[in-house]
Chains A and B, each alone.
Chain A
Amino acid sequence: MAAALGKLKKWFARKRTSRPPAVSLGPPPALLERYLQYKRLLAANSAILTTVADIQVKMDEGFLFDMYYVREACDRLGQEVEALVGALNGMAGGRYAALDTARRRVAHLVAEELVGAKMQPVPLALPLAEVREGLFYGGKAEKLGELTRLGLTVPEGFGVSAYAQKLFFESVGLEEFIREAISHSQIRNLESLREAGEAIQAKIMAQPLPPELSQAIAEHLAQLSSSRLAVRSSALQEDSFFSFAGQFETVLNVPRDQVEARYKEVIASQFTPRALYYCHSSGFSYQELAMGVLVMEMVAVRCAGVLYTDDPRGGKGAMINAVSGLGSLAVGGVVEPDIYRVEDGRIAAQHVGEKSHMHVAASAGGVLDIATPADLQGPCLAEDQALALAELGNRVKQHFGVPQDIEWAQDTQGRFSLLQARPLRVSAKLKADYLPPQIKGAEMLLSNGIIASRGAAAGSVYLLRDEALDAIPQDAVLVTTRALPEYGVVVGRVAAVICEAGSATSHLATVLREARIPSLFGAKGATAVLQPGDLVTVDAFYGNIYAGRLEELLKAPRGGDDAVRQTRAYKVLKRLLKHITPLNLLDPRAANFRPDGCRTYHDITRFAHEKAMEELFQMSTGRLDEEGARRLVSTIPLELNIIDLGGGLSPEAANLVKVRPEHLTSRPMLAYWRGVSAVGWQGPKPVDLAGFMSVVMSTATDTNITERLHEKNFAIITHDYMNLSNRLGFHFATIEAFLGAPGESYVSFTFYGGGAELPRRMRRVRFLTRVLEDLGFRVEPKEDSITARIDGYDADTLDGKLEVLGRLMMISKQLDMVMLDEGAVEHYYREFSQGHIPQRA
């Protein structure tokens, strides 16, 4: 006991010797630098989330964009993420080098997606049934491979991979020849490009195939029974919306001994002036034009044509056109084909075309154009045949999930074969997209939401309380007060999300857009207006919430054309998004919240932001000295040293060693100080003897406390930031606040210690926990300490919370001494709630 009293005495003695006032009033460079790095990080954070939101909107809402946009967006993201990680490492003295490793990994994956898959050695040829995506056989062969595996009738055949072409070119030095020819041609002279193309084509035709390729073709040919074959292009870029395919060669009725030559002819057909111009100008490597080739048995054809599973002009039903003989005349307008429109399982319209002539297989090979014999001039298809064909098309459409454009042929036995299937571009009529901003006759509950994720959905309202995310029922409309990233776990369970706060560029909005969950943020009053269990329809096209279920809204298209989704730019961006938008790091307390857990740019951004806040918080925990600090002088006997990093004090205070509250211009500091001064300095609570003795005992024996009692109170401030560490009586608190953009603003709070014995200190912590939870803080109490945090609100709301926190700090000063029992916790909680927390209207 004597030793303890001695320590206290020593402390009081030390306290009396004050140092001379600081000379320099400028902020300490290290602190300033750390703060500026934080601001850089915030700027990068905001730029990243804005770019991600822009990409998601452009993809989902029917925008037409090109590869230039995709590259530009990826470049911007790459630069900002690099700046973000750099800023975090700047704040933390390079302790997050592992995050930079994660960044490089993601940047590498993004770069790879942008360049396109690198061609790998694959088998030179494969039977159609074994051709799959990713083997570089081209879109046409892959689709037919898929149809074969589905059990649909596709002529027997095999594919030759694009890798085989590469091998061919390399084996005879064609690569070099083509490069030279392209570079010597004059890009602005069509004739020059034409000449270069012809030279390349002649060279290709003149070179022999490498023996292994010849052998592979021969072996696969041996597996086919037909004496005549069709050799067709299957370009890698063909699945891109604007395919080169139409311009490339398809050679029909090829005798077996001419397959090699026709293979070369098909390969050569891609070197058109247009393709060369493209290669020359956009750095589009001719290797990207490498194509697979299909060799298929010829069908003993009676008639052939094209089937659209949907009307390309947006009308109803399937459309079939048919010509006698080979299908090469079915499109192109040379002959008038038969047209059948099939609707709801019946022929809705039929038109028999004139079909004056037709293509047939010539006996020596190739195609003959002949006058159509009289017996073939009637309808190509009987009604039941047209219906059967439409049904076949339906199966293909259902399998691929989008309307199809199918080439078909019917043999002399009446059997149908599929020769090609590709996505059909269907244009919906513009007016069908229109949705009125307000649905007539429907009861509007709220109309003030920001569209965080477009779409519409209906469901029962579920108000989130106590962060009980597990309790959310399936398909509920989740209603929350704010938009926290942790809520991302609800994806897959909820129909829609409504938040009273939050912005469209928040982490949560990004996650919800990715999952296509219609969401409205900033819907003020939602938790009061919407009652649990109410059936509502969320209109995230216009930002409204209606009572009941509105089918009209639920049927509305989300936006975007199927055609846009077929473009190369869209497909590349969709693949890229895998490395950009998913958020795996939802919870900072989870085990994966580490640099090596970051899989995407979004993860890196979330991680860096969270850690930067920690780093910033640490600013006040190091040993601060009074250099650059001014004393805040007020009626409250609280020694507080102010370090202004910029904009925290008015210009009049520039040369003052002592500043007054009216000099404060820091928004969070002003809010906090409002609370502090509203309560004012109240003397110690009346304490019982046991309470007093417990103070003396616990203070004297806790060396941590006695050490820290020497620390001075500091507030590091800027116009929008405050990091205040203070000692009030025998406890320590750090209050940190950033009042900026909604997604960035927060208040965090730590509290530790006290003068009384542990049980009383713990009661005070329970009191604080209850108040803080009422205020919306997430609180983690542990014995006599607390860490708490509130975010997801806008600056105005947090401003109010800070004021209450100021009051709470003053009220709870020395409150531990009177926390005799649980009754006291209840008493002071009620007293504070009624007197100091503004009640919601």
Chain B
Amino acid sequence: MNDLWNQIDLFWTWLTASSQWEGDDGIPHRTLEHLYYTGVALFAAAVIGLALGLLVGHTGRGGFLAVSVANVARAIPTFGLVLFIVVIDYSITPVLVALVALAVPPILVNTFEGVRGVDADAKDAARGMGMSGWGVLWRAELPMALPLILLGLRTSAIQVVATATIAAYPGFGGLGRYIIDGLARNDYQLVVGGTVLVVLLALIVQLIFAGLRRLVVSPGLLGTARSS
């Protein structure tokens, strides 16, 4: 436990040093960079994953193919992909591409499973009420698949927040900067500082998604609605 206190103390002195809060290597700037990488990658991944997942889930065609491709994509080491494309074209775009590749599979698979798992009776009822194919998708399948879709988005978001640290290795910014620089300079305080900030960011993402789940998912699906 003593070690733990040391780490917290180390982190606190680092965090509260005024020099940490200014300039390009300051915490606000690095955090914004981190959020920028994460946000762009996650947005692109959400567009791709949701569109494909809804399409495949709704039509019921190509599901096996989509899930297999997504699972193979999961096996691609992001670290290798990042360094490979950076060697060929040194810019932040390849790093973002690698993060998108990391984030698409969970979103795609969960969206697909969510839409596919919607009760056939509910879909029949929606059709019976006169909804078109789009209507069924938007007003029945999507809302009922939301819990799983949010789970997929959350998994991706956490992975991207955590993995965006890798951008620092080939020399870009973000919170990984502290971890990589700390390692290189044998400055353990810097490593701990960066680590704790990334963990905090990941926890905030978890909280945001827990809140979203309460806000947007129909109470009937969460089991919180009163049955009377």
A binds B: no
Interface residues of B (CB under 8 A from A): none
